[in-house]
Amino acid sequence: MALSDSAVQDIAFNALDSFRIEIPSWGFANTGTRFGKFAQAAAATTIEEKFADAGEVNRLTGVTPTVALHVLWDLPNGVKDVPEVKALENRFGVRSGSINPNLFQDQEYKYGSLCNPSSEIRAHALEHMLDSIEIAKQLGSRDISLWMADGSNYPGTQSIRKRIAWLEHALHVSHEHLARNQRLLVEYKPFEPAFYHTDIADWGMSSHFARMAGPQARVLVDTGHHYSAQNIEQIVAWLLHTKMLGGFHFNDRRYADDDLTLGSIDPYQIFRIFHEIHVATDDGLNPEIAYMIDQSHNLKGKMEAMVQTVMTAQELYLKAALVDRKQLAALQQTCDLVAAEELYRGAFWTDVRPLVRAWREARNLPADPLAALKESGYVERAAKERGSRSLAVSSYA
């Protein structure tokens, strides 16, 4: 029996009320590819401007209360910068979210950071990890989000097994310094910049390292960090089943880690991922998942792309919430393949935009955040105020 309109609205409102997504500070700044960068006049050039942009996105959408910070990009002086960040939190109404160590930028990391053959460089990288954990403690941030570029480009040039042991040790030491409410999220990536072997190349390696680190470590899934056509929702299901899923970095990709806007290439994939999470919640797993965006744009406007991404995430999360999972389970049990797939696909093809619009109006938010951003003139004002600084950098080093 089909649900009534009021029942559908109740499901929609409950789902949207529970959904929060973190936005990245670096998504507001000028970034680029290894070949170059196209600067935008409205791009943020300071931590203050990044918080201002994040606060505006949260004002428009109501679901982005935290902003992820990158230690060397946002807190170059480490814990000394914490008072400034706290003041910005109070000023712009958004909190610090995940803290991201930087283990790939320094020249000494040419051959790796926590996996470097040099014990001195490994010690320096570990010290940065511990500093990042301390920053998170002082900011009240739960998650330390770890991605490393460590790996090698040529067979025989590194001991793969030694590097496993070095990383196990570093993550265990890092875990020992976590506060009781903190988590270490271990991200994986199959290649780039390491093209022969990457030290954390897939979800199985990440799970292993998280277990070796300790009970407060989990796996972080970046949707762009997979081979083409890989079944990411199966990976998510495994991580849910083994209670190792800690969070996501959401973006989209056509080939490999293109950092495209969420859902711009394969929205059905994100729907399938969200469905697995809804099912796991129904089954009582109650996963504690950090939903985070990790994308930055050379061509799209920074603010426009961020708002568009948040809106897309809400729509896809809601589509997955509207699957009649009880009926689907019955059809799966009887192997009624066509009916099961049609029920599943039917939720994906549902136009949920009117429901999201109604939710926003009921929560005193702009019915169309993207249109509200355009009407506000925020981007134009930012471009006028920041242009001379933002456009000064025209190359990517």
Domain range for 265 is 19-390
Counted residue by residue, the chain has a size of: 397
The answer to whether residue 354 sits within a structural domain is: yes
The answer to whether residue 2 sits within a structural domain is: no
The predicted structure's pLDDT at residue 388: 85
For 101-148, how does the pLDDT look when each residue is reduced to its tens digit (9 = 90+)? Answer: 999 999 999 999 999 999 999 999 999 999 999 999 999 999 999 999
Query: What's the Rg (C-alpha) of the chain?
Result: 21
The answer to whether residue 267 sits within a structural domain is: yes
CB 153 within 8 A of CB 196: yes
Report the pLDDT averaged over residues 173-183: 98
The answer to whether residue 3 sits within a structural domain is: no
Report the pLDDT averaged over residues 227-236: 96
The predicted structure's pLDDT at residue 3: 77
Assess whether pLDDT exceeds 60 at residue 305. Answer: yes
The predicted structure's pLDDT at residue 268: 98
The answer to whether residue 14 sits within a structural domain is: no
Assess whether pLDDT exceeds 50 at residue 302. Answer: yes
Assess whether pLDDT exceeds 90 at residue 296. Answer: no
Q: With cut-offs at 50, 70 and 90, classify the pLDDT of residue 370.
A: very high
For 180-206, how does the pLDDT look when each residue is reduced to its tens digit (9 = 90+)? Answer: 999 999 999 999 999 999 999 999 999
Angstrom distance (rounded) from CA 69 to CA 131:
14
The answer to whether residue 151 sits within a structural domain is: yes
Number of domains in the chain: 1
The answer to whether residue 166 sits within a structural domain is: yes
For 52-88, how does the pLDDT look when each residue is reduced to its tens digit (9 = 90+)? Answer: 999 999 999 999 999 999 999 999 999 999 999 999 9
In the DSSP assignment, the letter for residue 252 is: B
Angstrom distance (rounded) from CA 153 to CA 195:
5
The answer to whether residue 87 sits within a structural domain is: yes
Here the tokens at position 358 are 């109604």
pTM of the model: 0.96
> What CATH number should be reported for the domain holding residue 333?
3.20.20.150
DSSP string, 274-302: HHHHHHHHHTT-----EEEE----SSS-H
